[in-house]
Structures are given as structure tokens and as C-alpha cells.
Structure 1
Amino acid sequence: MITNQQLEKYNEVAVDALGGSKRLDSSRVKLMSAKRQAALETIGQTSDGLHMPESTVDVGAMVLMNAVCNKLLRPIDGSCCQTLPPPNLFQKLSACFFVSSALVLLTIHILGNNRQHRPVPPDVESLGEKKPSTAAAPLGLKAPFQALCRMGVIMAYFYLCDRADVFMKEQKFYTHSTFFIPLIYIFVLGVFYSENSKESKLLNREQTDEWKGWMQLVILIYHVSGASAFVPVYMHVRVLVAAYLFQTGYGHFSFFWLKGDFGLYRVCQVLFRLNFLVLILCVVMDRPYQFYYFVPLVTFWFVVIYGTLAMWPQILQKRANTSGMWHLGVLAKLLGLLVFISVFAYSQGFFDSIFSVWPLSKLFELNGSIHEWWFRWKLDRFAVIHGMLFALIYLLLQKRQVLFEGKGETLFSARISNLLLFFSVITFITYSVWASKCKKKSECNEMHPYVSVVQILAFILIRNIPGYARSVYSSFFAWFGKISLELFICQYHIWLAADTKGILILIPGNPSLNIMVSSFIFVCVAHEISLITNDLAQVVIPKDTVALLKRVGAVGVLALLVQMMTRDSSPAHGT
């Protein structure tokens, strides 16, 4: 009879004929031993000792399908039989750069210790001269290299989480409880940490940080719970993204109007803080710039705001005081910006012809197409200009002393305040009812650019008209608001996974503990990156104009060379 022992002998001979077990590991021949192991485990369940139960056959079928299909489909919640792509040239260069930074830091540290322990010559001590300074020129580089080393460790963690086959991933599965219960938790915490604000002006710094903070936390819960599948939640989160762009228009317009600082130093500072983390991730994680869509969006709108206000005639508050014609001038600029937006929005062919030109296309393409950039840009195309217009109206009303911004004072007279509050509440509720009735995202997205500003203005008035509401803020939300950009970007790879399509699993088998541990690490990393960015911005962006121009030119040439090297390469995968 053909027994298992005889089959094992046949298999041993077959393996030897194919070159032995060692050679099989490097050859194209694959032995499917998992099905045999499953059969040995379930042999007691057979009725006749010959035919295996269906569960064993299913295991064999699944292993075979995984071996054939997973390398093509690349499922999120498993990595069996998937081959990882090897690091490309830029990923290897980035690793060398961070390792070199660590070696330089180690060298500086050793030199510093040697100088500290170097004995002072007797003749120097007798003459009463000062000891040699330990803070020599090379030691002045210690802080930036420390920042680069910290960044290198963080990038290694990013790579292990979402590029190496180290941690598992799982699929998202939306339920109302997974979205709304965490939402209730964070808002209870936010109210618990209420404090008195230092100033009671409309949209003061503490209030805008608070606004960014709770919006960012809502967006994080929205992403990790997969709530985009529920259209009413999707539409409300779309308003939050529009509110971020509204703040971009409001904040930059207010700065340029009040300060009048259009210098290169200010521009480079803003661009560096916005793009530093994303540009590093593009190299380390092998992703295109447009993959992190929000940063290209706010960067583009900052350049548009700067160009609109910096071009002649520069309209500033100190000049606007001399004549009312200046107010008409800034309105004309805003009207020109509105025409510019409308032309781009209603002519996709013209839009494509502009942003498809190399090298500009390298910044906005995703998978070889600018469709994603077109969709993101068009969806919130009016949010920034709404923020700029609101800032202009507010600053003019503030200058004419129409507003009452003292502690505990209502923003307007009692009658006007009550009327505006009533309409704001009605508007807020009306939008929520409309969003709850949305059935198709495409239809609701068509209305979103026109109606989102109403919801934003309603929130601002409700939050600022009552004096007691304007005089307090949540320090809990404000803390998260200060690192909102880093939180938004870092979630892509160390909180979510598989390029945001799945959830990172650090602790398998315990979802609650896993989300707590991964969230703690995620927030700590985002906070650390914020500190690193601020430290490096002081070093990389010098105040001296000539030195800054040289560095900008060098970065421009380097970026052009990199784009030329990757011009003919295949586009990176994205979502």
C-alpha cells in the first residue's frame, strides 16, 4: 500500500532531484508544505484515513490563492507571500544622510569632550588669562545635527511601520459607535481643560489653535474609523477641511495687511515649516508630493495670497488710512483673484494645460495624472478667498471701533448680537439637516464650495459673539492645534497604515490596547517633529538676504536635478 512513510520518501527524492532544499530556496520551484502540515493536524477527523475534511482542503486552497494573488492584489490585512520592493536610490541616499549626520554629531561630541578635559597651561593660569572656550565653531553645529539625528530615528520608525514587513495591518470597518464614542470622549476632555484666554479679540491666537485642534482630532477619528463611508459625516468633515483653508486665507491676509512684511525671509520660513516633513517623507517613503494632498493645497494658496497682496500696488493698513480708494484697490485685487479661481474651476482643460507642464507637473501628479489635484483644488476653491474677505471686513470694523472686544462684552450691540446668533444657529442646524439627507458624494460635493462658508461663518459668530465664550478656550484642543499639521501628515504611516487604507497593528489581538499605544507614540512623534522643524528653520533659513538667496538657488538647482533624474521613472503608487 502507499503509506505516508512511502510518500515522504518519494518527496525526499523529488527534492533531491530538483537540487536539494538549499537550492530550492533560491530557485523558482516552490514546495507547498503548508497543506501537508494542515493534513497532519486534522488526520484524526478523516472518516477513512484517506480523504481529508473540507477544512483542510480550504486551508490548502487559501494558501495557494495567497501565494498566487497576494503579490498582485497586496491586501492590507496580511502580508503572506508579498514581496517587498527593495529601497530605491533616494531611499538609500536618505539613509546615508541620516547615518552621516549621526557620525558628525558623534565627532562633535568627542571633540567637545576633549576640549573640556584639556589641561590649561601653567603660564596661562599665572597670567590670569581666560581658559580656551569649549564652544568652538564646530560645536555650534551640534544643535542642528542633534535635530537631524532625532529625525533619522523617527524616519526609521516610519519606514518600519509602513514599508518593511514588520508590523501587521488591518482593514477599517465603520460603525457609528467607533466614530461617535471617541468623539464624545475628546469633547468632554476639551471642556474639562477650559482656561481663561489672555485676550478676548475675535479669532485670537488661542482660539484659532483651539479650533485647529478639535478639528484635527475629529479628522483623525474620521480617518481611523473609516467614516468616509457615511455620507453625512463625510460632508461635515469636508467643512472642517474648508475651515482650515479659511484660516489660511484669514491668517496670511491679516499678517500681510498689518505687518506689510513681504520679504524673502518670511516666505521661506512659511514654506519650510509647511513642507519640511512632507519632502522628507516623499524620499524616505517613496511617495509623490501630491500624495500628502493637504500640504500642496495650503502651499499653493499661500503662494497665491502672497502674489495677490505683494504685487503693485501693495495695499497695507498704514496706507489704507490715508484714503478710502485703497479699500477699493484691495477689493479689486480680491475680485481679480475670484476671476482667476472661476476661470480655473470652469475650464478643466486650461487647468490641465497649466499644471501638466514639466517640472510643475511633478509636484501635482499622482499616478501620472493630476486628476486628484484637480478634485482637491476644486472642492474648496472659494474657502481661502472667503477667509481673506472676512479678514478685511473684520480689520476695517475693528479700525472703526464698531466691535466691542472687551472681556465679557458681546461683539455687537445686544439687538444685533441676538439677531446674528439666531440666524447663525438656524444656519448651523439647516446645514446639518441638509448634510444628513445627502445620498451621493458627487452631488453634495458640487454644492460644497458654495455652502461651506455659511457653516464656517455661523460657527465663528456663535463662538465669538457672546463675551464669555470669547474669553475662554480649551488648552487641551489648543495644544493639539499647535501640532495639527504634523498630526495630519504623520497619521499616514505610523497610525494608519498601507498608505491610509488600513490601521497599524503594534499589539495584535488587543484592539483597544493597540490603539492606545499607537496613538501615544503617534502624538509624541508629531510633537517631536514640530520641535525639530522649528529648530532647523532657525538654522536653514538665515535672516541675511544674500545668504538666503544663495541657499534658495542651491535648493532650486538640486530640486531641478532630482526632477530630471526621476522624469522618466514610473510614477509611485498612491491613494
Structure 2
Amino acid sequence: MKHPVYEDMLSDSRKMITNEKIDAYNEAAISILNSSSRNSKAKVKVFSVSKLIAQETIMQSSDGLHLPESSRETSAMILMNVYCNKILKPIDGSCCQPQPPLTLIQKLAFCFFALSIIGYLILTFIYRNNHRKNKPCTDMESGEEKKPVTNTSPVSALETLLHSFFKLGLIMAYFYLCDRANLFMKENKFYTHSSFFIPIIYILVLGVFYTENAKETKMLNREQTDEWKGWMQLVILIYHISGASTFLPVYMHVRVLVAAYLFQTGYGHFSYFWIKGDFGLYRVCQVLFRLNFLVVVLCIVMDRPYQFYYFVPLVTVWFMIIYATLAVWPQIVQKKANGNSFWHFGLLLKLISLLTCIYFLANSQGVFEKIFSLWPLSTCFELNGNVYEWWFRWKLDRYVVFHGMMFAFIYLALQKRQVLLEGKGDPLFSNKISNVLLFISVVCFLTYSIWASSCKNKTECNELHPSVSVVQILAFILIRNIPGYARSVYSSFFAWFGRISLELFICQYHIWLAADTKGILVLIPGNPMLNIIVSTFIFVCVAHEISQITNDLAQMVVPKDNATLLRRLLCISGFFSGLLFLAAIQDQSRH
């Protein structure tokens, strides 16, 4: 396509060249090219954007006819973006990339959600009509109202199920539009200290403002752990959207936050199995469902591998490791080990065996990769055709779950022997011991921060992180729990976010960040502050709604009856086998 000229600068010999004639020539050329390609599948594509670029830059031309160098460079860059980004897939949130074609599994998911939405609307319509017909009527003889006898429990269960999938279908449509349909713009992340630290100050002020009295004053009670998850998740979100991973001190401290989540995984699940002694199938399926439901749906709808949402595979595998360690014979629980040192010694042997296995796998990358490259594990843990990313993520926090289990064991043993003072307002130990431990904790906390801030590179820091991250985690726990007044209060603001922390972590991938976390979603172009407010509000609301949907479905999909549960597990196994078969067919068609 011929670009326009700057008529005022043309020499006398070129005055006959006008933009009006150039437009006519371009139209004639396009018409001829398209008419000659009628028998082909697609018409000739014209790089028309070069004309728009020329209109903006032709005034910088030296003679009014030839374009300046900047114009040619811009046109070449756009042309390369259009045709090369699909192959190169650059790490850039704003790069032009074509909308990926729908896979067979995505089409089936669309049909399922569409049928769920239609079914829910039909059921709601029928229910309302029946409700109108079954209104209470008055008995003419007694003058009393008669209420119709109806059995609504089956309808209510079906309605709840369809209502959950109705909401989930609308939410998944929003996910797809945000991060797959090229409907909304994306922008890149540019880290500045103010973009990270100012929001941190804001949330800390809000967290302190919403301080309330705790219902329990035990160490690491439920309200406190929810608060802990909440403020950590908010810091991680700010870390991701501000691109703070480029600043090494922040990166190292956020690595401790991720390790603290895994520490809570070890602490929480060990405490449950040790106290309750419940190793039943129902408990395992409930935990696995709540952890994986959203990620599995997103893998289907967004066509992403399971390992892409790395944290969920991480906590899932560690939960299974904790379960296997404690459930394998002999099952040692608090009730059995009460007052018997032999059983405590047996549990310690189990934990030492676990630590030995972790150490062996951490120093045997080949063995680790062979294990997780076996089918069907490879379908879950491969990313870009190999399991190296999974190896890296697992190795980075390999000891912290064990640390959480050991801490739970020691804490529960001390609590059983009434060594700890957990009354309201009481320090955790005697005043002298509490003051010494508090001083040591503060020194350790600050020492770790100084070390993390002085690291030279990520590789060096990551090598030491698995062994030393527990220092700051334990220091924080003691600082938070030794003073009685600190243990007696919690932030309801942070606790609210803590209860949906998993959903927040997963949802950010597509509806807050964008381009698979490489960029930032832009719902309102030209106004960054308003855009971040609106997108954040929608993001948090969606995460909260998905948490409610997951809880509702967990109660319905995972029954307490073992026979029914086994039948459903067989159905689920068949469902995923079908998905794997369809995925294999899809891969063959692509190649």
C-alpha cells in the first residue's frame, strides 16, 4: 500500500502526486487483488496500519515523499509483532498475540456451563410457578389456612447445584473475556519503590483499624492463622502487580511468605491428624476438592496446564505426603500416645524418615524428575514439556512443611503438659523466659531481613532459603504470640482476606493480572488509578464468590458415606480419563 505524501514539501516535478490520487490507486489495487483471489480461502491481507503511521510521521520527511527512518522502524516492529509473537511468545503483557483457538475440551466446557445456566433458569421458572400455585388457601369451614404438603429437598439440592454452576459459568466467561478473548487491553509492570511500599502502608493501616478481640487466646488459633494468611496474601498480590520480583530484598521476603503458607500446611494438617485421628477417605477428598476445584476448572476453561498454578500442586502434594506419613502403620495419634513416650519416639522416627526422603530427593534431581515424568504424574507436573519447573518450586521450600509438622508436635506436647500459659492477657511463658525469647526472636527476625537485603543474586539466596526461612517464620510466631495482649486480638480485615486467600492467589492470574500474569488487566484505559480500583473490586468479589461456590459444591460432591464416595470417585476417575483422552487427540491434531 502506497503511503501518503506531504504535499507542501514536494518539489515542482512531484506536484502531480497528491494524496487523493494515492488513495484512488490504493483502492484500485486492493480491489484487483481481492477479485483475483476469489477462488482462494482468504482474501489478500493488506498492512494498512503503515498508512496511519505515515500520516503521523510524513511531516518529518526531508522531501515530502520519502518516509523518515522512525516510520519504517515502527512499521517493521508492528509487522514482526503481528507475525512473530505467536511463535516467539515474548514475556510481555502488552505484546500483540492472536486469540488462541478453542480446544475441544474448552468447547465441551462451554456447552456444560451453557446447559447449567439454561437448566437453572428453567428450574427457577418452574419453581416460581409451582410456588404461586401452591400458595396457602383458607378452609371455608374452619377458617384456618392450609399449607400445601410439598417435598422440596430434592429440588432444593438440584437447584443449589445448578445455581452454583450458573454462577461459576458466568464467572468463567469473565475469566475468558479478560485473558483470552483480546477484548481488554493489557499493560506492562514497571517496578518503583513507591508502587510497592505505599500500598503496603495502606493495608497495614486498614488492618490495624479493624482490630477486634479474639474468641480464643491459644497460640496460632483459627482467627490468628486467618489473619496471617490474609496480610501475607495482600502483600503477595501487591508484589505481583507492582513487578517487585526485580528488587531482590523484596523477592526474598516474599519467598518467606510463600514458605510461611507451606509451614501452616504442615502445622495445620499435622495438628488435625494428631488430635482427631481421622484418616478417613472423606477428610482426604474434602481437602483435595477444596484445594483443586478452581484450578481444575481453570485448566479446562483457560487451557492451561495444572503446573501453571504451581502453588496448588505444591500444597496438594505436601498434604498427601503429610497424610501418608501419619496414616501409614502404625498410626500414632495423641489419644494413643497420651502419657507413653514409646509412641512419641515412634512418631519422631516417622518424621526423621520423612526428612531423610526429602533430603534424598533434594539431592537427586534425576530421580525426582524420573518419578514425576511417569504417566499419569507427568500430565499434572510437566510445564513446557518437562518437570524442571516443578522440581525448582518443590526444592525451594522443601524443608518448611517438615518444620511446620515438628513445630506442631512440640507445641501440642507442651500444651498437653500445661507448660504454656495461654490465658487472656498472660504471656506465653513466665515473664523472664518470655522476655528472653521475645528479645531473641526480634534479633533473629531483623538478622534475617538484613541478610536477605544483602544477598548478591537470586541463585545464592535460593540455595540458603530452604534452611533459613524457618528462622523468620518462628521469630514472627513468637513475637505475635508471646505477649498476651498481642495474642488476645486479631485483625478482622486481614482475617476476611485470609479465608479466601487461596482463591485470591489463583484468580489473580487472569482477572487482575493478565496475559498469564505477565501484564496488568486494563478495564478502563487512560485512568490507571480508577482501573486498579474497579478491577480490584471485581477481582475480590469474584474470589469471595468462588470460595462460597467451592464450599457449597464440596458438601454436595463429597458425601460422608464411603460407599457413595467410592462410586463418585470412580465416576471422577472416568471423567478425567476422558479429558486426558481428548487432550491427547487435541495434541495429535495440533501436530
TM-score with structure 2 setting the length:
0.91
Could you tell me which residue of structure 2 aligns to residue 34 of structure 1? 49
Contact kept? 1:359, 1:563, Cα under 8 Å: no
Post-superposition CA distance 1:290-310 (Å, at most 9, x none): 100000000001111111111
Secondary structure, in 3 states, of the residue corresponding to 1:499? coil
Q: By how many angstroms is 1:50 displaced? A: 2.7
Could you tell me which residue of structure 1 aligns to residue 221 of structure 2? 204
Secondary structure, in 3 states, of the residue corresponding to 1:18? helix
Could you tell me which residue of structure 1 aligns to residue 574 of structure 2? 557
Secondary structure, in 3 states, of the residue corresponding to 1:473? strand
> What is the count of residue pairs matched by the alignment?
571
CA separation in 1, counterparts of 2:135 and 2:67?
Answer: 85
1:69 is matched with which residue: 84, 109, 116?
Answer: 84
Q: By how many angstroms is 1:477 displaced? A: 0.6
CA separation in 1, counterparts of 2:417 and 2:93?
Answer: 60
CA separation in 1, counterparts of 2:563 and 2:184?
Answer: 47
Q: By how many angstroms is 1:117 displaced? A: 3.0
CA separation in 1, counterparts of 2:137 and 2:238?
Answer: 67
Post-superposition CA distance 1:530-553 (Å, at most 9, x none): 011011111111111110110011
2:248 is matched with which residue: 219, 224, 231?
Answer: 231
Contact kept? 1:179, 1:225, Cα under 8 Å: yes
Contact kept? 1:216, 1:481, Cα under 8 Å: yes
Contact kept? 2:262, 2:400, Cα under 8 Å: yes
Contact kept? 2:425, 2:485, Cα under 8 Å: yes
Post-superposition CA distance 1:197-247 (Å, at most 9, x none): 111101011110000001101111111111111111111111111111110
Change (3 A) 1:53 1:360: closer
Identity, in percent, stands at 64
Contact kept? 1:288, 1:366, Cα under 8 Å: yes
2:305 is matched with which residue: 275, 288, 296?
Answer: 288
The one-letter amino acid paired with 2:373 is: S
Q: Does 1:331 find its partner at 2:345? A: no
CA separation in 1, counterparts of 2:562 and 2:140?
Answer: 43
Could you tell me which residue of structure 1 aligns to residue 274 of structure 2? 257
Could you tell me which residue of structure 2 aligns to residue 170 of structure 1? 187
Could you tell me which residue of structure 2 aligns to residue 301 of structure 1? 318
Contact kept? 1:77, 1:168, Cα under 8 Å: no
Could you tell me which residue of structure 2 aligns to residue 274 of structure 1? 291
Could you tell me which residue of structure 2 aligns to residue 444 of structure 1? 461
Change (3 A) 1:40 1:416: closer
Contact kept? 1:18, 1:24, Cα under 8 Å: no
Could you tell me which residue of structure 1 aligns to residue 501 of structure 2? 484
Contact kept? 1:169, 1:505, Cα under 8 Å: yes
Q: Does 1:362 find its partner at 2:376? A: no
Contact kept? 2:94, 2:519, Cα under 8 Å: no
CA separation in 1, counterparts of 2:473 and 2:282?
Answer: 32
Could you tell me which residue of structure 1 aligns to residue 5 of structure 2? none
Contact kept? 2:37, 2:43, Cα under 8 Å: no
Post-superposition CA distance 1:31-81 (Å, at most 9, x none): 23333344445656656443345554454444434444344345545464x
Name whichever of 134-143 and 441-450 sits farther off. 134-143
CA separation in 2, counterparts of 1:73 and 1:96?
Answer: 32
Could you tell me which residue of structure 2 aligns to residue 89 of structure 1? 104
Secondary structure, in 3 states, of the residue corresponding to 1:195? strand
Could you tell me which residue of structure 1 aligns to residue 174 of structure 2? 157
Q: Does 1:110 find its partner at 2:125? A: yes
1:3 is matched with which residue: 10, 14, 17?
Answer: 17
Q: By how many angstroms is 1:513 displaced? A: 1.1
Alignment of 1:522-541 (within 5 A): 522-541=539-558
Secondary structure, in 3 states, of the residue corresponding to 2:578? helix
Post-superposition CA distance 1:256-308 (Å, at most 9, x none): 11111111111111111000000000000000101000000000011111111
Name whichever of 164-173 and 28-37 sits farther off. 28-37
Change (3 A) 1:130 1:67: closer
Change (3 A) 1:34 1:361: closer
Q: Does 1:517 find its partner at 2:534? A: yes
CA separation in 2, counterparts of 1:494 and 1:397?
Answer: 45
Post-superposition CA distance 1:417-466 (Å, at most 9, x none): 11111111111111111111111111111101110111111111111111
Q: Does 1:467 find its partner at 2:481? A: no
Contact kept? 2:511, 2:539, Cα under 8 Å: yes
CA separation in 1, counterparts of 2:301 and 2:63?
Answer: 57
CA separation in 2, counterparts of 1:204 and 1:24?
Answer: 73
CA separation in 2, counterparts of 1:45 and 1:371?
Answer: 51
Q: Does 1:98 find its partner at 2:113? A: yes
Change (3 A) 1:185 1:45: same
Q: By how many angstroms is 1:564 displaced? A: 3.4
CA separation in 2, counterparts of 1:13 and 1:123?
Answer: 82
1:419 is matched with which residue: 436, 445, 454?
Answer: 436
CA separation in 2, counterparts of 1:125 and 1:253?
Answer: 65
Change (3 A) 1:238 1:120: closer
CA separation in 2, counterparts of 1:519 and 1:22?
Answer: 48
Q: By how many angstroms is 1:414 displaced? A: 1.2
CA separation in 1, counterparts of 2:537 and 2:425?
Answer: 37
Q: By how many angstroms is 1:495 displaced? A: 0.5
Could you tell me which residue of structure 1 aligns to residue 562 of structure 2? 545
Contact kept? 1:352, 1:370, Cα under 8 Å: yes
Secondary structure, in 3 states, of the residue corresponding to 2:187? strand
CA separation in 1, counterparts of 2:329 and 2:345?
Answer: 14
Contact kept? 2:504, 2:540, Cα under 8 Å: yes
CA separation in 2, counterparts of 1:73 and 1:349?
Answer: 29
Change (3 A) 1:3 1:440: same
TM-score with structure 1 setting the length:
0.94
The one-letter amino acid paired with 2:284 is: V
Contact kept? 1:24, 1:30, Cα under 8 Å: no
Contact kept? 1:115, 1:134, Cα under 8 Å: no
Could you tell me which residue of structure 2 aligns to residue 195 of structure 1? 212
Alignment of 1:370-449 (within 5 A): 370-449=387-466
Unpaired runs of at least 5, structure 2: 1-13
CA separation in 1, counterparts of 2:232 and 2:39?
Answer: 55
CA separation in 2, counterparts of 1:204 and 1:315?
Answer: 23
